[in-house]
Amino acid sequence: MVLIRFFQLVLLFCFSCHAFAIEVPSLVYRADTRSPDEIFQNGFESWGNETEVLRHVLGTSIVEKKTGLIATTSEMSVAWNIASKYLIDEVNEQDYIWIYIITPGINFYDVNASLLNAYMHGTGDLIPSQALFTYATFSHEHEFAAESLISTTQIKGAVRIKVRTRPDGEEEIYVEKKELNGAYNPTTPAVSSEFLPAVEMPADFDVYYDGDLRLYPITVALGVSGYIGRGTKYKKTKFSILVNVIKEKGLILFD
C-alpha cells in the first residue's frame, strides 16, 4: 500500500498540468453503529452545510458538527478495517456494527480528487502543501463524500459484523446477518464532476483523527464515531506532526 501511494504522489508531479477523470464506483460503503431500523427509515443526514474539503478530512468541521458531508468509501476493505478496529481494538457499548452498502448519486464527491485538485490549483501560500500532505495521509481510504443526505432509496442493504474467537484463540470478525432495504431504488451510479472547495488552514492547526497516525490513520468523518448520537471520539495532533510523519515514511520527497 505504501509503494502504491508513493507512486501516486510521483505521478501527481508528472501530470500536475493535466486534467484527470473521476472514476465512478458502482457501490460505496459506510461502517456505522446505527441499525437498519433507523437508517433504512431516515437515510444518512449531515450535521451542517460546510463542504470545505480540508476541514472535513482533517476533522475540524466534524468536531465542530458543521460538516455538510457524509463520508463513505469505495473500498469494502476500508469499511471492514474500520469495523474491525471498532470491535476488536476498542471498548464499546455494543458487540456489533453495521456496514451499509450504497449506490452513489450526483451529490457524491471524490475526496481524493478534490485534494489533488486543491494541490494543483489551490490559491494561497499554504493550500497546495496542506492538500498534498492530507492526501498522503488519508488517500488509502478512497473516500467519496455525499453532500447533505444519503437517501434511504440509495441504500441497498447492510451487513451486521460481529467478533468471535477462533479455536486458536485469535479473534476475528465475521458477517453475522444481512438485511436488504425494501425502499432501495436501483439507479445508475453517479458522482459529481466538480471538486470540493479548499480553504487555506492556519500555518499550524489541530488535526483530528482515529486509528494510528503512523500505521493506519482514519479520518474522523469515516470512522465509526463520526456521526453517532453519543458524540465523536477522536485523537488530536498538530498538522506539523502529520507532516513529519509523512516525511519520515518517505511518501513525499518534496512539496
Residue with more model confidence, 254 or 85: 85
Closest CA to 11 of 132, 130, 96: 132
pLDDT in tens, 14-52: 444 445 678 999 999 999 989 999 999 999 999 899 999
Q: Give the pLDDT band (50/70/90) at residue 162.
A: very high
Residue-level pLDDT at 17: 46
Query: What is the separation of C-alpha 121 from the centre of its chain, rounded to a whole number of angstroms?
Result: 22
Task: Average the pLDDT over each of 168-172, 213-217, 249-253 and give the range with the smallest value.
Answer: 249-253
Residue-level pLDDT at 157: 98
Residue-level pLDDT at 114: 96
The share of the chain scoring above pLDDT 90, in percent, equals: 60
Fold of 2-13+25-248: Heat-Labile Enterotoxin; Chain A (3.90.210)
Listed by start position, the domains of the chain span 2-13+25-248
CA dihedral 248→211→233→63, nearest 10 degrees, is: 40
Residue-level pLDDT at 252: 59
pLDDT in tens, 76-117: 999 999 888 888 876 666 889 999 999 999 999 999 999 999
Q: Report whether pLDDT(1) > 50.
A: no
Q: What's the whole-number average pLDDT of the chain? A: 86
Q: Give the pLDDT band (50/70/90) at residue 172.
A: confident
Q: Report whether pLDDT(11) > 50.
A: no
Average confidence (pLDDT) over 206-219: 89
